[in-house]
Amino acid sequence: MTLVYDARGAALRSTTATDANSAVTLKNKALNPDGSLASETISVTSADGKSRTLSRDVDSYAVIDHCQTETTVVNGDGSKVTTLIDKTGGRSISTRSSQVKSSRFTFSKAA
């Protein structure tokens, strides 16, 4: 755990944990000078790095206000498809998918 303080006495507390599947979770909590939670950001990355989720509670109500998930799939031909989903308040507000067919600059994108 790491604590960093600003001039007001507010703190940023960072913790990192690795689960049984080797996924890494990084939690950053911003604390008010009185020690109460101001906001929290949670990042989870799969062991292979192909899946990442970023969740944010921006107002300290213990409810995730924004969640972004990025997933990459490598196809048998070596092409990759990456899907990015943004959610706010439990609703999907944006989904983007991109495909790279090879390392030779072929790129397609769907909104």
Do residues 96 and 82 lie in contact, with contact meaning Cβ atoms separated by under 8 Å?
A: no
Do residues 57 and 39 lie in contact, with contact meaning Cβ atoms separated by under 8 Å?
A: yes
Question: In angstroms, rounded to a whole number, what is the distance separating the alpha carbons of residues 46 and 106?
Answer: 27
Q: Which residues of the chain have pLDDT under 50?
A: 105-107
Three-state SS at 67:
strand
pLDDT of residue 100: 66
- pTM over 0.85, yes/no: no
pLDDT of residue 14: 92
**Other Cβ atoms within 10 Å of 50 Cβ, number:** 14
**Other Cβ atoms within 10 Å of 4 Cβ, number:** 9
- In single-letter form, the type of residue at position 8 comes to R
Question: In angstroms, rounded to a whole number, what is the distance separating the alpha carbons of residues 87 and 65?
Answer: 8
pLDDT of residue 103: 54
